[in-house]
Amino acid sequence: MTKLSVNINKIALIRNSRGANQPDILKIATDCERFGAQGITIHPRPDERHARYQDVFDLKRIVKTELNVEGNPLPKFISVVCEAKPDQVTLVPDGPDALTSNAGWDTVKHQSFLKEVISEFQKQKIRVSVFVDADPKMVEGAKECGTDRIEFYTESYAKNYSKDKIIAISPFIRAAKVANEIGLGINAGHDLNLENLHYLYQNISGLLEVSIGHALVCDALYLGLENTIQMYLRELQ
Ligand code: PXP
């Protein structure tokens, strides 16, 4: 089974644009779960322009499925995550000014740093996932770092899907094979949508979770949140 984790950063962005608490991301998270989502994801960045660090604590109180917190493991992020203890932390090497995550980790170059932070999270019984490109060397490097899972950065898949989906998926099939052989769990995310999700699901064996934000929120504007979540869930069958 592949779980759908809804990334609610875009909802937090709308909330922040007016200063009050509308839309209420806690209500949205609860409603996403009620509509069938099997997880909630947020990605607090140092400037807190979408999700805020306080949201991590608030969501931890109310999320009943699985809370996944993504971000760059800077000192503040590490202390918030270790205190809030979400179900999963996804480590992303995004710069503070990045518009959105734009690369996977170099798990060879940053091995000693990653090893250290991964073990700190695991001591708190938080499952760790490391954001990587679909590159067998980076997958093997992630294993060396001691992570429980990897999350494939699927931007290149999404970008190339409409040109040639067989070419778009092939590095992910190869990298997933390596991950399965060495016993790493596989998540995936970035730029997934109703058009490209099912093909990824069909071709990546052992895909445990996808986290989807931007396209899902855009679709919900036209289709409604409940209907949209149901449609995404159908793509994962
Ligand atoms: N995974 C990671 C690590 C991300 O940073 C993001 C975007 O915040 C996503 C998944 C979801 O990407 P999208 O918003 O394009 O669905």
Question: If you average pLDDT over residues 190-207, what whole number do you get?
Answer: 98
pLDDT digits (tens, 9 = 90+) for 118-177: 999 999 999 999 999 999 999 999 999 999 999 999 999 999 999 999 999 999 999 999
Residue 204 maps to which CATH number?
3.20.20.70
With a CB cutoff of 8 Å and minimum separation 6, the contacts of 196 are 157, 158, 161, 165
214 tagged catalytic:
no
Instruction: Using the atom order of ligand 1, give the atom closest to the CA of residue 189.
Output: 10
- The rounded Å distance from CA 122 to ligand 1 centre is 23
- The residue whose CB lies within 8 Å of the most ligand 1 atoms, and thus the one to mutate among 40, 90, 100, 196, is 100
- The rounded Å distance from CA 116 to ligand 1 centre is 24
Tell me the residue range of the domain where 39 lies.
3-235
pLDDT of residue 58: 98
d(Cα 101, Cα 45) in Å, to the nearest integer?
10
Question: If you average pLDDT over residues 166-194, what whole number do you get?
Answer: 98
The finding on whether 44 has its CB within 6 A of some atom of ligand 1 is no
Cis ω before 96 (30° cut-off from 0): no
pLDDT of residue 99: 76
For the chain, the domain total comes to 1
Residue 100 has pLDDT above 80, yes or no: no
Q: How many CB atoms lie within 10 A of CB 41?
A: 28
d(Cα 19, Cα 21) in Å, to the nearest integer?
7
70 tagged catalytic:
yes
How do beta strands 88-91 and 67-71 pair?
parallel
Residue 101 has pLDDT above 90, yes or no: no
Question: If you average pLDDT over residues 200-211, what whole number do you get?
Answer: 98
Burial letters 171-198, b for 16+ CB under 10 A, else e: bbeebbebbeeeebbbbbbbbbbbebbe
HSE at residue 93, side-chain half, CA atoms within 13 A, is 15
Task: Quickly state the pLDDT bin for 102 (edges 50, 70, 90).
Answer: confident
Q: What percent of the chain has pLDDT over 90?
A: 95
Amino acid (one-letter) located at 226: E
Task: Quickly state the pLDDT bin for 95 (edges 50, 70, 90).
Answer: confident
The finding on whether 235 has its CB within 6 A of some atom of ligand 1 is no
pLDDT digits (tens, 9 = 90+) for 6-35: 999 999 999 999 999 999 999 999 999 999
Read off the pTM.
0.97
pLDDT of residue 45: 93
